[in-house]
Structure 1
Amino acid sequence: METAATPQLPLQRYRLFESHDVDEARESVARVFCPHGLVTLRPRAGLDACHHSARLHRDVSLNYVQYGPGVQIDPGYLQDFFLLQIPLRGAAEIRCGAQQVDATPRLASLPSPTELLSMRWADDSPHLIVRLARPALLSRLESLLQAPVRQHLVFDLGVPLDNPALAPLVHFIDYLRLTLDAGNALQAGSPLAEHAEAYLMASLLMSAGHNHSRALAGDAQRRSLLPRVVRRAQEYMEAHADQPLSLADVCREVGCSARALQLAFRQHAGQGPMEFLRETRLERVRAELQASAGANGAGVREVAQKYGFLHLGHFAAQYRARFGERPSETLAEERHG
């Protein structure tokens, strides 16, 4: 008689430890995050702790953490990193500074490092946690604002994952987890991982609420921009289409805020800057596939990844919508035409 296979935990191939000892679990988790207090809410409850951690490029990692029984976690001040914490089931009471939320699989928490943090995870409440380095996130914010950030960045503690504005971020995190679980496409430190990290940070800043959201939305820069700025942005993206580029990079190059540049593109080009970049990259992919007529020419996956298309299925759908054929058909036509 066959027995059912044990379901694989998220990010299991990146396992750091598993333990039934509170002290060992506390010390092991602290190596990735920070020193903290950890006690079980029911003293005689048996701990079932593990931590899986996968780094993307330099400043972001995806983590799976579970403890089994309910625990009290007291990190104090995180200092140099932010945490986007998503309960996969169960619940958690999170207090950070003057804010408090009861996190669930539909309401994540996003504690800020300059605010005092205390957490109480309920029984059987494993979390998917995105760790983001504070200096990198602040640098990304300054690039999007095109202005120095003089106040601490403090996010709204509750992050409603069913908010349509957050859907691209939520789906992208899920895609990253699935890709890392599969063990392909994303290698720590690779250009693809750099693309992913830049997009994730910019998406978080543009979609999650925080004390700089109003400035980021462009209240101070709703003035119309000349088409020259749009042309400069287009030329920059065309020249760097095969490199990791984010909206913040383009803003830094042309010297305006993200919101102002988006408004200028909508007004003068009829699309957003990232849409223009995607269309440019699709055109480049098609051109390279058409040039790959020889038997040793590059394949679809290789060319797509060169231009930052991380998910081959999504890329193929975008390519077909743009050109009316699958990328493999373009390649086949050129090789057999």
Structure 2
Amino acid sequence: MDVRSDVRMDMRSDVRSDGGPVTRTELVTGDLDEAHGYLCRTYVGHRPRFSGDRAAFRFRAATADEGRFSLGRMTHTLGTRLVTEPRDFLVVVCVLDGAYAVEAGRDEARAVRGGFVALPPGGPAHARWPAAELGVVGITRSALARAALEVLGAPVTPLLAGPLSGERVRRWRGAVRFVSHELLDEASGAAGPLLRAEAVRLLSAVYLTTFPVLVGDRPGPNGTLPAAVRRARAFVDEHAHRDIGLTEIAEAARTSPRALQDGFRRVLGTTPTAYLREVRLDGAHLALRAADPTSGDTVAAIARSWGFAHLGRFAAAYRDRFGRTPRETLRE
């Protein structure tokens, strides 16, 4: 059967930008709302749908959160599809058993047992898994940015990637194991601020040399982006579901609207407002895929929630982008 939960919470708001003593949480439950309330508080707000025997559901999770990074593990026995709220942290998912897939914008990554998926910070994502056991590592955007300047001497833009496995992630596994066993293991005692800072640098540095990122501050043949354009895209990715326009985007990019428009046209061949429209279409697409028309979800309501007031124009733009109508996606 397909069951939809009403659990919906804002993404975690208590992230400590300078870190702090490690907070450990655990939960074992057979209650879906309790399980996804825990996931919302620990990671990011989301609205899930489930398939399988709800009466037989079992959930087990444990997380150690330092503020700048977190390590967690969970077992979830139902097939799950969910759309997340925007995130200000990157996530690396290790599939310990089962499978995991995620879509962000136009890109998709998936992995099976033994594989990894890296999900960058940014706008809504559509994740799904059958019954699965997952290891999850989170690193805040600000922590990775500081490490990028130390390790690479330049800002970076993390990319969606997966499946990654084998030798490519051997060092990542080693770094996570070291941090987990040497610094977060309760038997080793409470790690002090210097050890915690070293753990942040280690995880971030190994991430930067393991998973794909765009590096640099100026446009070039390898696809790097100028700082203002990169800041603008990150702002739009994270806030597209809010009431923003060119003025707000330019303020976040720390430049003028005219300069930002020129930069977008020169580097990306589009404009900031056109990019905002594309991100909103992606968000509406993910929301339609996760929606349930039998529970009252409608194309009009989802379109309005993503800033599309005119349903006809939304439907035409959606069909041009995805090759099907919004109603067809909703009914899939």
1:203 matched to 2:203? The reply is no
Paired position in structure 2 for 1:120: 128
In structure 2, do the counterparts of structure 1 residues 161 and 214 end up closer, same or farther at CA, with 3 Å as the change threshold? farther
Q: Please state if 1:85 is matched with 2:88.
A: no
Aligned residue for 2:36?
26
The 8 Å contact of residues 25 and 62 in structure 2, kept in 1 or not, is answered as: yes
Structure 2: runs of 5+ lacking an equivalent: 1-22, 223-332
Q: Which amino acid aligns with 1:191?
A: L
* Distance change (3 Å), C-alpha of 1:159 and 1:175: farther
Amino acid paired to 1:18: V
- Superposed CA offset, 1:286-316 (max 9, x none): xxxxxxxxxxxxxxxxxxxxxxxxxxxxxxx
| TM-fit CA distance, 1:205 | 0.8
Alignment of 1:97 onto 2:126: no
Give 1:161's aligned residue: 165
Structure 1, residues 4-63: CA drift from partner, whole Å, max 9, x if none? xxxxxxxxx94432222222212121112121112222264532123211134x411101
Give how far 1:130 is off. Answer: 0.4
8 A Cα contact 1:84 1:129, kept in partner? yes
Instruction: Give the 3-state SS of the residue equivalent to 1:110 in structure 2.
Output: strand
Paired with 1:88 and 1:180, the residues of 2 have a C-alpha distance of 22
User: Does the 8 A contact of 1:187 with 1:193 survive in 2?
Assistant: no
Tell me the CA shift for residue 166 of structure 1: 3.0
Matches within 5 A, 1:138-149: 138-147=145-154, 149=155
Tell me the alpha carbon deviations over residues 227-260 of structure 1, each in whole angstroms, 9 at most, x when there is no partner: xxxxxxxxxxxxxxxxxxxxxxxxxxxxxxxxxx
Alignment partners' CA distance in 2, 1:165 and 1:93 = 19
> Which residue of structure 2 lines up, in the alignment, with residue 110 of structure 1?
118
Counterpart mapping for 1:238-253 below 5 A: none
Contact 1:92 1:119 in 2 (8 A): yes
Superposed counterparts of 1:315-330, under 5 Å: none
- SS of 2:209's equivalent? helix
Q: Output the CA distance in 2 between the equivalents of 1:209 and 1:137.
A: 13
Secondary structure of 2:159 counterpart: coil
Cα 1:186–1:105 shift into 2, 3 Å: farther
Q: 1:100 to 1:207 in 2, by over 3 A?
A: same
Amino acid at match of 1:141: A
TM-score by length of 1: 0.52
| Rounded Cα–Cα distance in structure 1 between residues aligned with 2:191 and 2:39 | 20
The separation in 2 between residues aligned to 1:132 and 1:158, in whole angstroms, is 17
Q: Which of 29, 35, 47 is equivalent to 1:37?
A: 47
TM superposition score normalised by structure 2: 0.53
Q: Which residue of 1 aligns with 2:80?
A: 71
User: Which residue number in structure 1 is paired with residue 17 of structure 2?
Assistant: none
| 1:187 aligns to 2:190 (yes or no) | yes
Q: CA-atom RMSD, angstroms?
A: 2.8
Q: What's the CA shift string for 1:117-138, capped at 9, x where partnerless? A: 1111112x11110011111112
Give the partner amino acid of 1:102. Answer: R
Give the direction of change, closer, same or farther, for the CA distance of 1:114–1:40 in structure 2 (3 Å limit). Answer: same
3-state SS in 2 of match to 1:30? helix
Gap change, CA 1:130 and 1:146, over 3 Å in 2: same
Query: 1:159, 1:203 → 2: CA distance?
Result: 17
What is the aligned length?
A: 197
Q: CA deviation at 1:159?
A: 5.0
Aligned to 1:308: none
The letter for the 1-side match of 2:159 is F
Query: How much has 1:213 moved relative to structure 2?
Result: 8.2
The structure-2 alpha-carbon separation of the partners of 1:189 and 1:96, relative to structure 1 and needing over 3 Å to count, comes to farther
Change in CA separation of 1:99 and 1:213 when aligned onto 2, cut-off 3 Å:
farther
Indicate which of 175, 179, 190 corresponds to 1:172.
175
Structure 1 186/59 Cα, relative in aligned 2: closer, same or farther at 3 Å?
farther
Residue type of the alignment partner of 1:128 = G
* 1:280 corresponds to: none
Counterpart in the other structure of 2:27? 17
Higher-Rg member (1/2): 1
- In structure 2, what residue type is equivalent to 1:210? V
Indicate the structure with greater strand content.
Answer: 2
